[in-house]
Amino acid sequence: MTGVAVDSVNGRLYDDARPRFLALSEARQAEILAGMAADAPLSANGHGPGAISPGNGLLHPQPRALADLLKQQFDPLSYLVDGIIARGHLAMFGGRPKSGKSFLGLQLAQAIDTGEPFLGRNTQRGRVLYIALEDGERRVHQRCNLLRWQPQDAAVLFNIARFDGDGGPGPGVAQIAQLAPTYQLVIIDTLIATLSGRANENDNTTMGAIVNELARVAHDTNTAILLIHHTSKGAAENIFDLFRGASALRGGYDVGMMLERKQNEREALLHLESRDVDCASLTIRQSDNGAGWETLGNGAEIVKVRAGRRIVEAINEHGEGLTAEELAGAIGTTRQAVQKQLTAAEDNRLVRREKGRRTGSAKAADLWYLSN
């Protein structure tokens, strides 16, 4: 067959249609191609086909001169959350069940909708679509009230078509592509709830196709898309390897967020990774009334918090009004270690110090008590 350019509405349609096209007879292929515009351009996202090589029936993209690309001017990234999530990014946010990730996702939606800071970082106000697939209307209503959210332009959706299809992404991904241009941020809670019962979340081909197509939608529409996802049990050398399912998921997103929280702790580590910027982890803590999260500082802050909690347990066990030396002797550690724990606990308002004298000592010392 002679070389003919094939029009492509977008990369997804091309990728889905290509194997079916190649399965046709050469005569039928020629018939289809003859009905298409001879000078159809490549799709804007670069996924579209170029010419068909004579005799082999394979579609090939047209290379672009690198020098031409380097002459092109690109606008800087437009961050919705300073230094974390930019417009046009696909982000994935993971955490174990009931760790607070959905609440944090809703808090992010509130911050973008209102233009208020998110975990101490400036935001860019924009329209948000929150797709709540695991929480019903009652729970979303309750949580929005706890956050004292007065919505501006935000919208909520409680159902969507499945993301997996026959040999490629399903109709739900196409729905996201239709919705995305209307919003600056689309949050999908959760990825597993978008899959049909026959989908295998460990299949790299299936899950890779879904996440890559969502990334393409984000890039083409300049809309940030956040996928909330569960984590697997156990441990990993790299915490982002704990995203449940296929390893292709991690290869498809631009920004990774992982909530690491121990049982019965209000504090958690929010790990971050990005293709575009260096991200440091954050220590965050659930608010007193459970209404969202607040930031305590960088990732090292949680070590201080946990150290402070240990010294509170020691004071509870051995009594109040003891010096650092007495506490060190009681729990079998050094004075220096206890002093660091006391300082951390004091910074977090867990303990307080008072000056006092021990019997037989003329010099006042710091005596430690639990904060009321």
| 51-91: pLDDT as tens digits | 344 444 556 778 999 999 999 998 899 999 999 999 999 99
* Confidence label for 27 from pLDDT (cuts 50, 70 and 90): low
Give yes or no: residues 231 and 104 share one domain: yes
If one compares 48 and 31, the residue with the highest pLDDT of the two is 31
Strands (E) across 115-231 are located at: 128-132, 155-157, 185-189, 224-230
Residue 196 pLDDT greater than 70, yes or no: yes
Task: Find out whether 246 and 207 touch, Cβ atoms under 8 Å.
Answer: yes
| Count of domains for the chain | 3
3-state secondary structure of 245: coil
Among 150, 79, 108, 87, smallest CA distance to 284 is for 108
If one compares 27 and 96, the residue with the highest pLDDT of the two is 96
* Confidence label for 49 from pLDDT (cuts 50, 70 and 90): very low
Give yes or no: residues 165 and 26 share one domain: no
CB-count exposure of residue 186 (10 Å: 0-12, 13-18, 19+)? buried
Query: Considering 274, 299, 324, which residue would you say is the last residue of a domain?
Result: 299
Query: Considering 254, 275, 299, which residue would you say is the last residue of a domain?
Result: 299
Q: For residue 328, what are the domain limits?
A: 305-370
Task: Find out whether 51 and 61 touch, Cβ atoms under 8 Å.
Answer: no
Give yes or no: residues 131 and 239 share one domain: yes
Give yes or no: residues 87 and 231 share one domain: yes
In a domain, 1, yes or no: no
Give yes or no: residues 152 and 255 share one domain: yes
User: How confident is the prediction for the chain on average, in pLDDT?
Assistant: 84
Among 197, 190, 198, smallest CA distance to 249 is for 190
In a domain, 203, yes or no: yes
